[in-house]
Amino acid sequence: MRIDAITIHRVSMPLVTPFNTAFGDTTAVESVLVRLQSGAVSGWGEAAPWRFPEYSPESAASAFVTGRDMLAPIVLGTDIPSGADLQRRFSRFKGNQFAKAAFDLAWWDLAARLAGTPLHRMLGGTRTEVEVGADFGVMESVDALLSVMRQAVDAGFKRIKLKYRPGWDLDMLTAVRAAFPDTVIHVDCNSAYRLADIPMLEQLDRFGLAMIEQPLANDDLIDHAVLQKRVRTPICLDESITSVDKARKAIDLGACGWINIKPGRVGGITNAVAIHDLCAARGVPCWIGGMLESAVGGAHCLALATLPNIRYPSDIFPTDRFYARDLATPDMRLSAPSVMRVSEDPGIGTIPDEAMLARLSVEQAHLVASNRPAVVGG
């Protein structure tokens, strides 16, 4: 379809409670929203690299500029027949996966809306209800963590993910396991450790964790393969998997037993589906990760989580877990304990609320194609 206009917003969404991880402590999530317009129909995408390049080398500010000055010009006024075509055009620019993802997600929402089809059906999803998990950051005390974990277990969450970093590590897990001997738990280290930490990481096998998420450097595959030979607990790669090629190399090296697929981190839905299919063919199970996106990004994650090789509850949360009010409508809600139902409306079934978008936007750009036939570049 021809892209007649593009709008890009950088937003800052205040959290109801800080989210503290090995890469930093955060009180507001910075995210980039892209709207691609074709005739009278618009599609929305979102990618949330956050304010600082702490999780990955990108920031919301860099993704906004990359989108406005580099990606939008090769999209505007041209016909984009497929996600693969969009990715081929973007491939002349290295990296910048979150910036690319915001456009790719918008393309998929637009394509599904133009077809009058829910996105999950267009992607070949095989379920309409998705399992989601509970997540807890580093808290002020272990007692505080135990009390929110009790609420989550009582509410029926089927797995709990705990952030893990120096100072919030083996002692915390020992207390958690004593209080919750049978709960499915995993830890997310957000790349806090190095091979020198193998003695500590080997001790994690004692806790019967479902997996250890991203223990080593954000751009590493080789050291994770070394570590995976030393621990029984499967490693789940998050930060390290930024492309289909990285996923293939991780599997070839034996660097992980699971892959967490985040559409933002891998450059969009086109690549997320390709990684999903590769992992399915290679027998590596996956789940969908999140970056505390608004319900726009959350709805895209839900659609991806309907794919068949998603085999563990995903990081998709109800709006009220992190936000007083969602940027988008409808917001995210559980349909049953630990379960969300995917929208049957065309596309993702979710759009930003105009007033919320105006209130939360830090900067925005609006580009309109001229009516002359465009020359395709790239």
Binding site for Mg ion (CB under 5 A): 188, 213, 238
**Quick check: 36 and 75 in contact, CB under 8 A?**
yes
Of the candidates 96, 99, 85, the one whose C-alpha atom is nearest the C-alpha of residue 33 is 99
Letters for 93-132 (x = contact with ligand OSB by CB under 6 A, - = none) are ----------------------------------------
Report the DSSP beta bridge partners of residue 21.
Answer: 24
Min dist. Cβ of residue 316 to ligand OSB (A): 7
List binders of ligand OSB among 34-63 (CB under 6 A): 55
Contact 175, 146 (CB under 8 A): yes
Contact 225, 253 (CB under 8 A): yes
Q: Can you tell me whether residue 304 is helix, strand or coil?
A: helix
Least distance in angstroms from the C-beta of 213 to ligand OSB: 7
**In the complex, least distance from residue 55 CB atom to Mg ion, rounded to whole angstroms:** 8
Tokens of 345: 């409306």
- What's the gap between Cα 335 and its chain centre? 21
Q: Do residues 265 and 240 lie in contact, with contact meaning Cβ atoms separated by under 8 Å?
A: no
Residue 163: active-site member: yes
Specify the residue, 37 or 190, whose C-beta has the smaller distance to ligand OSB: 190
Distance in Å, CB of 375 to ligand OSB, minimum = 39
**Nearest to Mg ion of 291, 342 (CB atom):** 291
Q: Which does 331 bind (CB under 5 to 8 A by kind): ligand OSB, Mg ion, none?
A: none
Binding partner of residue 90 among ligand OSB, Mg ion, none, CB cut-off 5 to 8 Å per kind: none
Q: Residues 100, 161, 163, 246: which is the catalytic one?
A: 163
d(CA 267, CA 190): 19
**47 sits in which H/E element:** strand 41-47
**What are the catalytic residues?**
163, 262
**Chain residues in the site for ligand OSB (CB under 6 A):** 55, 135, 188, 190, 238, 289-292, 315, 317
